[in-house]
Structure 1
Amino acid sequence: MRERGPLAGRYPAVALMVVLALTPYLVLSAALQPVMPIISQQLHMTNSQINLAGGLANAGYALGTVLSVQLAQHLPQRRLLVVYATVLVIGSVLAAAANGPALFISGHILQGLCTSLLLIAAVPPLVTGFPPGKVRPTAVILNLSIFGGVALGPLIGGIQAEANGWRPLFWIIAGIAGVALLLVVLTFQDVPPAEPTATRSPVAVGLASTGCVAAFYGATQLLIHQSLDASTLAPLTGGLALIVIMLIQQDRTKRPLLSVRPMTSTLPVAGVVGAMSAAAASISAIALIGVLLQDRFSPLRLGLLFLPEFAGAVITAIVFAAVFTTRALHYFALAGMICLSAGIAIVAASVPPSTAVTLIGTALIGLGVGASVTPALFIAGFSLRNIALQRVFAIVELLRAVAAFMVTPILLYIATTVSSRTADGIRTGLWVCLGISVGGTLLAISLYVLGGVRPPTPALPRWFGGDSAWHSPPLLAALRRRAGGSPPETPKA
């Protein structure tokens, strides 16, 4: 008999564990902006150091997606969860108790790294490890907890900044991480490594590690120095190039760590395009709006202006439950991209926006991101066998994190340098966000059309039986048929 905790196999306890493991850093990433000046003052941190903490924490989050898959192949996965949750608690305590830059930066990096390690290790088993009837509430819980947590971040940060403090927020985050660790232990169910005979992939992990750290460091330097010199462009472009090389290497290797090749058919590519463009556009737009309005409103009032974003996330979670197992899942993702584009356009056309315009814009952005990113993830996941979900999730989260956390500092740089007036620069940045959102939407639609895809209904029994939930034709399959060629077979995961 394998070791089991007293709550092992209990769906509510396992689902709560996943939510509490993911939300601390996701909330903190959105709540950090209002309290950064207070942290900087009390810990005697320079602007360079405070931005470096955020940039390297985001790099850790991106890197953890690849590292988690590698470790899961060769080591017992649930034991790894205990290690990840323990280190998350340690990192959270270090950040909360920090008396100087070194401890704070180290703790915050561990928070970012361990959150993605937990995400990739814990979420796929929650989806596939319970009966098919649980997959719908699981999808809704993930959608609401991830995007709801991010949406609440500005308000939580505003409340803390209004009290002229930051440690209470970080100690609460540490407490939540501690409860998550307790639930990891209580729900423990020892399981073997995913694939002990799998080839180790030091090249992929090395490329991902170097690429993420370099790219996010370069993006951070862009904000700090406000100049496009070699010290900024070299790590930024070099890091992105290494990430692309890693994906190409994984596509061509015989025994890859990440399921890149099976992801190159119509529906997974459309899903990844949707998730990346929605994440990049929404997070950048919210950051730009925050910078635009920070001098007009107190941190608390500014946080309240972003509260409709959370309401949008709640509404989309409810609708998501209704459409999740139908072909309307595809149209739901499309509607989300349209709402996201509309929200950005409304604010961009009214810079500086009134209170009413800001409330409407953030509500539409919340509806948009909640209805697009998670549905796009499942559109990609349903196209492959469920055994590949962990690797699919890792690819999507890596690309989503790079898109979201890399585009934001670039657009903030544009907003502060393209014009002598900050409002004009931010307007330009918001129009770029709109271009990313609309461009991603049109590209995803084009992939459906050129692939000859009519939105299918997911066959969940077949997916849980080990096959894909639907057939995803090769890229440009319809175009190739019209040209008289035979499209290649879609690779199997």
Structure 2
Amino acid sequence: MSREGPLAGRYPAVAVMVVAALVPYLVLSAALTPILPIISRDIGMNLEEANLAGGLANAGYALGTVLSVQLAQHLPQRRMLIVYATVLVIGSVLAAAATGPVMFISGHILQGVCTSLLLIAAVPPLVTGFPPGKVRPTAVILNLCIFGAVALGPLIGGIQADSDGWRPLFWVIAGISVLALLLVLATYQNVPPADPTSTRSPVAVLLAATGCIAAFYGATQLLTHRDLNAATLAPLCAGVALIVTLLVQQFRARRPLLILRPLTSTMPVSGIIVAMSAAAASVAAIALSGVLLTDRYSPLKLGLLYLPEFAGAVITAILFAVLFTTRLLHYFALFGLVCLIAGIALLIGTLPPSTIVTLTATGLIGIGVGASVTPALFIAGFSLRNAALQRVFAIIELLRAVSAFMIAPILLYIATVAGSTPESGIKIALWISLGLAAAGTLVAVSLYALGGLRPPTPSLANWFGGESAWYSPPLFAAVRRGAHRPGPPGLEEAPEAARP
């Protein structure tokens, strides 16, 4: 396939392709809750199988971040994009046409895996493959794709549940996947492998696969098993241990797949902590509030109550496009965490929350997530060369997915077993969620102070020229003796990752 597609190099077409590739699964991940009972009734799926479908699909999403980087090093990247989009279509059709649990679960897992494969393969080239003037609209697209789609999920699921159906939504998702495949073909360019000389890392992929599957399987078991036992705790603990082992192994490797050493300076570590804490706290808070309000509202009305979350994502996407080339980017991420904390605190203060409180709280949570996670990604990415963005994006998305999709089931379990009433149990779990957001805020701010860092302005000219956008000091540089300025980010520690 040496010929270019008719829309190759056209920014609008590539941007629409990215949107069509990411939106289907991200919408479904938040829309499934109100329609899972209907799906289960229609295809004979029990509650445990329904939870397993969502859990393993999320595990596939987390795994895909690592797998995509490995495949990109040794295989033609745009050809692989065609493969990912094709399998996404297959998975979407399987899920939409499912007549039994195995068919539905298999299709939904393929949707999760292929979405993250497409995310890591398509989004970084959209950022770095066009002139710097296109970065602003890309920032808006990235925010709206990842967080706007998730924020719209409850409303879309509520609309579908209100009509007592689910297949129309899944067929629409399948149609969008077909559109994504057509646009991948239309924008095709013959892009070679990123680095064919790089070391293959089957151990990293195996650790990621077994760790994610075990951890997410164990987490989903908490949703259907009130009593803790070895069958539940063993896979959860083993999965977390394997993911930690993956990070340690990659940190110590001479030629790693995931670049971790260059990310261990002040700003990247702060950015990763912000992304993880904001994702975990927000997903858990929305899930917990949904449990509390499900019996009080119809699925459609409940979906409407979460609509301000989407409005918050839109507002922050616009503000982010304005601020991300200034030093205010750092304060914007802090502002997002403060809004997230305020939204969760508002829910805690009025249980069960009134309509006005819920609308206000979900709006604050939407602003909080949109203003914190994507800025955190760029704070980490700007600290390394742009050639490393794909790998930076992969490690952050892996950690964000594990935090967001694994913490929520754990807190839902805590809500069912803690407290004397369901309401008190949810309140305890919400306090934990608020604590995660507050801890992330305090740690990130403290790292800046201990690093002696004043928030700098990113230099896009340097970043697009092959250098880092700013200097990120070593961890605790202001308080430890002998701290020194490192060499070019990513060059000493991970030459493959930083090679232009």
TM-score by length of 2: 0.97
Equivalence for 1:215 = 215
* Distance change (3 Å), C-alpha of 1:199 and 1:23: same
What's the offset of the Cα at 1:324?
Answer: 1.2
> What pairs up with 1:310-459 in 2 under 5 angstroms?
310-459=310-459
Cα displacement string for residues 370-404 of structure 1 (whole angstroms, at most 9, x for unaligned residues): 10000000000000000000000000000000000
4+ aligned runs moved over 4 Å, structure 1: none
What's the offset of the Cα at 1:318?
Answer: 1.1
Equivalence for 1:146 = 146
Equivalence for 1:231 = 231
Equivalence for 2:77 = 77
> What pairs up with 1:7-406 in 2 under 5 angstroms?
7-406=7-406
SS of the equivalent of 1:478 reads coil
SS of the equivalent of 2:169 reads helix
CA RMSD of aligned residues (A): 1.0
What's the offset of the Cα at 1:135?
Answer: 0.9
Distance (Å, rounded) in 1 between the aligned partners of 2:452 and 2:4 = 48
What's the offset of the Cα at 1:143?
Answer: 0.5
Distance (Å, rounded) in 2 between the aligned partners of 1:178 and 1:224 = 35
What's the offset of the Cα at 1:222?
Answer: 1.2
Q: Is the 8 A contact 2:61 2:116 kept in 1?
A: yes
Distance (Å, rounded) in 2 between the aligned partners of 1:2 and 1:83 = 16
Distance (Å, rounded) in 2 between the aligned partners of 1:54 and 1:275 = 22
Distance (Å, rounded) in 2 between the aligned partners of 1:362 and 1:377 = 23
Distance (Å, rounded) in 2 between the aligned partners of 1:70 and 1:155 = 36
SS of the equivalent of 2:158 reads helix
What's the offset of the Cα at 1:475?
Answer: 0.5
What's the offset of the Cα at 1:2?
Answer: 3.7
Matched letter for residue 486 of structure 1: A
Cα displacement string for residues 100-157 of structure 1 (whole angstroms, at most 9, x for unaligned residues): 0010000000000000000000000000000011111101111012111100000000
What's the offset of the Cα at 1:227?
Answer: 2.3
What's the offset of the Cα at 1:223?
Answer: 1.1
What's the offset of the Cα at 1:488?
Answer: 6.8
Q: Is the 8 A contact 2:326 2:458 kept in 1?
A: yes
Equivalence for 2:483 = 486
Distance (Å, rounded) in 1 between the aligned partners of 2:286 and 2:169 = 21
Q: Is the 8 A contact 2:325 2:457 kept in 1?
A: yes
SS of the equivalent of 1:431 reads helix
5+ residue gaps, structure 2: 491-497
Equivalence for 2:493 = none
Distance (Å, rounded) in 2 between the aligned partners of 1:448 and 1:288 = 32
What's the offset of the Cα at 1:485?
Answer: 3.2
Q: Is the 8 A contact 2:474 2:483 kept in 1?
A: no
SS of the equivalent of 2:31 reads helix
Distance (Å, rounded) in 1 between the aligned partners of 2:149 and 2:124 = 20
Distance (Å, rounded) in 1 between the aligned partners of 2:46 and 2:420 = 25
Distance (Å, rounded) in 2 between the aligned partners of 1:140 and 1:488 = 33
What's the offset of the Cα at 1:422?
Answer: 1.1
What's the offset of the Cα at 1:487?
Answer: 4.3
Matched letter for residue 376 of structure 2: A
SS of the equivalent of 2:416 reads helix
Matched letter for residue 27 of structure 2: V
Matched letter for residue 450 of structure 1: L
Identity value in percent: 74
Distance (Å, rounded) in 2 between the aligned partners of 1:365 and 1:403 = 16
Cα displacement string for residues 255-293 of structure 1 (whole angstroms, at most 9, x for unaligned residues): 100111101110000000000000000011000011100
Cα displacement string for residues 44-85 of structure 1 (whole angstroms, at most 9, x for unaligned residues): 101110000000000000000000000000000000000000
What's the offset of the Cα at 1:226?
Answer: 1.9
What's the offset of the Cα at 1:228?
Answer: 1.7
Q: Is the 8 A contact 2:35 2:157 kept in 1?
A: yes
SS of the equivalent of 2:223 reads helix
Q: Is the 8 A contact 2:267 2:383 kept in 1?
A: yes
5+ residue gaps, structure 1: none
Matched letter for residue 149 of structure 2: G
Distance (Å, rounded) in 2 between the aligned partners of 1:221 and 1:358 = 29
